[in-house]
Amino acid sequence: MQIQFLGAAGEVTGSKYLIETRLEESSCKFMVDYGMFQGAREADEKNQKKLSLNPEDISFLVLTHAHIDHCGLIPRLCAEGFKGPIYCTTTTAKLLEIMLLDSAHIQVSDFERAERKNKLGKWRGDMPVLLYDTKQAIESLNQVKVILYTKKFSPIKDIDVIFEEAGHILGSSIAVIDIKEKNKASKRLVFSGDLGMFEKPIFRQPTLIQSADVLLVESTYGDRLHRSIKETEDELVQIVTQTLDRGGNVIIPAFAVGRTQEILFILADLIRRNRLPHLNVWVDSPMATKVTELTNACLDELDEDAKLLHQWLLNHKNKIDVRFVEDLEESKSLNKLKSGAIIISSSGMCQAGRILHHLANNLSFEKNAIVITGFQAEGTLGRRLVDKVASVKIMGEYVDVRASIHTLGGLSAHADRDNLIKWLKGFKQKPKYVFIVHGEPSASIHFAQSIRETLNWNDVIIPTLQTTFDIN
């Protein structure tokens, strides 16, 4: 058996892993995740790179969850010839439709805008490459096969798969894959996907897995501890209160899937506990609107506190004014709001979408606050804001950064170092192969050292991009 690391190796984005194995009656190649690289120009080049094998030779794809860095290149893979089934949980399938259609829309819009500017002689640099269009995104969704949590299924003879709860976002899963190779004992491969925090509001806890021969575990925050929820809430209360008191706006770039809903949950809960007054909140993201609607329809996948808060909101609608903005003209009208507004908009890393307009209109004023609530990859606008640069380029224009910039680490959808270790302690014995993935080099190195020191698992591997390992 071989595992090739085609993404999320030495970096956080682009999760995709190719497994090749010789079964009792046939050979098989399959993928776990097929995500988009995110970041600067280098990411664009990686996204355009073709597989070294024929996509038609891939038997099936296992998808852990619907974040774009795990699913974003699936339509491109299908357009290039992959015809096999795409297996995922029920809610992941619903989110996948939202995510891929939005991704296609953004790409087409950006490409068409570049073409228009190029014809007018106003485009500088390379033209963007259209990875896939809306038609191709829709066609790829026809290959999706829905599987319930904890239900064992066999994509092909001699391979069994189970999805377990990852606690990251709605529908997120840990993929447990048992493979019976020819003339060899069965091997269990466990792909953590992205793991959530234990005891974190809204989502259920990650499932502890007891055994694996081969383990791939994420390390996004493997080198640090998140702030407690209480500390995070205290800071958010202070930011919102002080900003509104001085007549400013609070701008929150947020991932449309998971993070936006979590922020709404926390703001509502703080109002319920009389820690914040009545708030005027605008959610300016059509995708976030759809995901919020889906979240309300999937309350059974949330924890008990989230269910109770949802009921409280139904009974106290006057406590918070949340407006979901879909129309583009209505979105533009938010530029007229000079004070008293909390605007939540995507994308979460400030790379595209409506958040760019809100940043362009609010960054230059000291009275405003920008609240960063999630991981910001190298090369992104969000990362430059976190690094406290003096000015940033937005849509071709430089904007001075005078607004206060705040990072709320406690809202992460990813497990921190101690929570990752807690999850690993669920294994009754050390897996034969342990691969540290989905982390920037420093995070992965620190996490590997923590594993060695805490669990005494000495043989821990940090793979690099495009490397292949033989699994004996």
pLDDT for 178 equals: 98
Q: How far is CA 161 from CA 155, 158, 180, 191, 397, in A?
A: 8, 10, 12, 11, 49
Residue in 378, 382, 379, 430 with CA at minimum distance from that of residue 406: 382
Domain C-terminal end among 368, 392, 411: 411
Split at pLDDT 50, 70, 90, the class of 403 is: very high
pLDDT of residue 301: 85
pLDDT, average across residues 152-162? 97
Is residue 40 pLDDT above 80, yes or no?
no
Q: Which of 170-179, 192-201, 312-321, 378-387 has the highest mean pLDDT?
A: 170-179
pLDDT of 362-398, one tens digit each?
999 999 999 998 888 888 899 999 999 999 999 878 9
Cα separation, 424 vs 260, whole angstroms = 29
User: Residue 449 is part of a domain; what is its CATH number?
Assistant: 3.60.15.10
The reply to whether 344 and 462 lie within a common domain is no
| Span of 30-34, 207-211, 292-296 with lowest mean pLDDT | 292-296
Q: Indicate if 179 and 240 belong to the same structural domain.
A: no
pLDDT confidence of residue 126: 81
Distance of CA 291 to the CA centre of its chain: 13
Q: What is the pLDDT of residue 316?
A: 87
Which pLDDT tens digit goes with each residue over 291-327? 988 988 888 888 888 888 888 988 888 889 999 998 8
What percent of the chain shows pLDDT beyond 90?
Answer: 73
pLDDT at 407: 92
Residues 397 and 420 in one domain: no
Instruction: Write out the E strands in 63-131.
Output: 86-88
Do 208 and 233 reside in the same domain of the chain? Answer: no
pLDDT at 348: 85
pLDDT digits (tens, 9 = 90+) for 262-282: 899 899 999 999 999 999 999
Helix axes 134-141, 90-119, angle to 10 degrees: 170
CATH number, domain containing residue 392: 3.40.50.10890
- Same domain membership, residue 180 and residue 60: yes
The neighbouring-strand residues paired with 323 are 282
Span 217-266, pLDDT tens digits: 999 999 999 988 899 999 999 999 999 999 999 999 998 888 898 899 89
Query: What pLDDT score does 206 carry?
Result: 96
Could you tell me the pLDDT band of residue 186, with boundaries at 50, 70 and 90? very high
Domain ends where: 395, 411, 427?
Answer: 411
Query: What value does the mean pLDDT of the chain take?
Result: 93
Q: What is the mean pLDDT of residues 66-73?
A: 96
CA 70 to chain centroid? 7
The percentage of residues in the chain with a pLDDT greater than 70, rounded to a whole number, is: 100
Residues 379 and 428 in one domain: no
Q: Map tokens 């409506």 to a residue.
A: 354
In the prediction, which pLDDT does 457 show?
96
Cβ contact 371:239 at 8 Å: yes
Distance, first Cα to last Cα, the chain: 7
Q: What tokens appear for 286 in the block?
A: 């059509």
pLDDT at 201 over 80: no
pLDDT of 347 higher than 90? no
Tokens read off for 189: 């491969």
- How many domains does the chain divide into? 2
Mean pLDDT of 14-25: 95
Q: Do residues 186 and 404 touch, judged by C-beta distance below 8 A? A: no
Neighbours of 237 (CB within 10 A): 16
Global pTM value:
0.88
Range of the domain at 122: 2-224+413-470
| Predicted local confidence at residue 451, as pLDDT | 98
Is 189 within 8 Å of 179 (Cβ atoms)?
yes
Scored b (16 or more CB within 10 A) or e, 435-447 reads bbbbbbeebbbbb
Query: 361: which strand partners?
Result: none
Same domain, 84 and 201: yes
Whether residues 370 and 461 share a domain: the answer is no
Together in a domain, 380 and 436: no
If you average pLDDT over residues 146-150, what whole number do you get?
Answer: 97
- The amino acid at residue 235 is E
DSSP output for 75-86: HHHHHTT--S-E
Could you write out the three-class secondary structure of 276-314?
CCCEEEEEECHHHHHHHHHHHHCHHHECHHHHHHHHHHH
Whether residues 50 and 174 share a domain: the answer is yes
SS3 (DSSP) at 131:
coil
Mean pLDDT computed over 81-86: 98
Cα–Cα distance, 414 to 69 (Å, whole number)? 14
Q: Do β-strands 159-165 and 173-179 pair in parallel, antiparallel, or remain unpaired? A: antiparallel
- 291 with 217, same domain? no
Q: Which of 171, 170, 172, 150 is nearest to 160 (CA)?
A: 150
Give the helix ranges, DSSP H, for 163-315. 229-245, 259-272, 286-297, 304-315
| pLDDT tier at 151, thresholds 50, 70, 90 | very high
pLDDT at 158: 96
Q: Are residues 399 and 281 in the same domain?
A: yes
Distance CA 10, CA 461 (A): 11
Residue that terminates a domain, selected from 411, 429, 450 = 411
E strand or H helix that includes residue 468: strand 468-470
What's the pLDDT at 409?
74
